[in-house]
């Protein structure tokens, strides 16, 4: 099933499904940015707004992008703050964002569905302010090597969403090619993951002082 169709279908049950990866991602994002404040945040792939609800608390202005109409409608129902703006967007094309606009860009559980990482890092470098941060939290490649993909149940059917495997060096090399400096790299396990490979990997990159 193609990615857009899958997420439109998944939107109806995304928040109620048991999903350890979704829950861990939410915790990591909050732990990473609690007690921080940002002037302008861009959220790539907002989904149903699970992280958007937090971002509007730490950002003066938040712009949330997704290319699933179903997901955005759920997010709009959930997040009714006055400082949020939602846009339909295909992240593999040029983003509907002006240059040097954001001091934080977040990207959670999105890049496994995007083949060309260089485009994502290039657009992040274009739209970040000097010294702005790019936060990425993704399914760990160690999980991908074992065949794990985003998937959901539709009745008795398991729907797997199209995915691309990215190695850790793919992220760091794409960042370096676009002059984004690696500031932090962390790996995370859910409490149910004892003796298993890490579930998620996160990066914080920083834009150059001036482009």
What pLDDT shows up at residue 43?
98
Sign of the C-alpha dihedral computed for residues 44, 136, 9 and 23 taken in this order? negative
What pLDDT shows up at residue 148?
74
The CATH number of residue 11's host domain is 3.40.50.150
Domain count, the chain: 1
Provide the whole-model pTM. 0.90
Q: CA–CA separation, 84 vs 42, rounded Å?
A: 10
What pLDDT shows up at residue 63?
98
Residue 73 lies in a domain: yes
Residue 210 lies in a domain: no
What pLDDT shows up at residue 62?
98
54-70: b (≥16 Cβ within 10 Å) or e: bbbebbebbbbbbbbeb
What pLDDT shows up at residue 3?
58
Residue 168 lies in a domain: yes
What pLDDT shows up at residue 16?
57
Residue 193 lies in a domain: no
Residue 199 lies in a domain: no
- Mean pLDDT by runs of 10 across the 211 residues of the chain is 56 64 95 96 95 97 93 92 96 97 97 95 98 97 84 67 90 98 97 91 92 49
Pair type for strands 38-44 and 59-66: parallel
Q: CA–CA separation, 190 vs 196, rounded Å?
A: 10
Residue 201 lies in a domain: no
Its domain, for residue 25, covers 3-187
CA 6, 8, 12, 15: dihedral to nearest 10 degrees? 70
The torsion angles phi and psi of 27, rounded to 5 degrees, stand at -65, -45
């Amino acid at each position: 099933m193609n990615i857009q169709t899958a997420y439109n279908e998944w939107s109806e049950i995304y928040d109620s499904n048991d999903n350890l990866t979704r829950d861990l991602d939410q915790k990591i994002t909050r732990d990473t940015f609690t007690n921080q404040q940002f002037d302008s945040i861009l959220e790539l792939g907002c989904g149903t707004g699970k992280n958007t609800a937090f971002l509007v608390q730490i950002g003066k202005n938040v712009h949330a992008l997704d290319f699933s109409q179903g997901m955005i409608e759920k997010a709009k129902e959930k997040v009714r703050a006055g400082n949020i703006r939602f846009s339909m967007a295909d992240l593999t094309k040029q983003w509907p964002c002006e240059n040097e606009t954001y001091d934080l860009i977040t990207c959670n559980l999105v890049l496994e569905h995007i083949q060309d990482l260089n485009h994502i890092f290039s657009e992040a470098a274009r739209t970040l302010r000097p010294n702005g941060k790019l936060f990425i939290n993704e399914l760990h490649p160690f999980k991908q090597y074992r065949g794990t993909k985003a998937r959901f149940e539709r009745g008795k059917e398991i729907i797997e969403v199209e995915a691309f495997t990215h190695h850790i060096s793919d992220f760091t090399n794409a960042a370096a090619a676009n002059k984004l400096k690696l500031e932090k790299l962390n790996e995370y396990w859910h409490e149910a993951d004892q003796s298993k490979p890490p579930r998620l990997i996160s990066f914080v990159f920083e834009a150059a002082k001036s482009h």
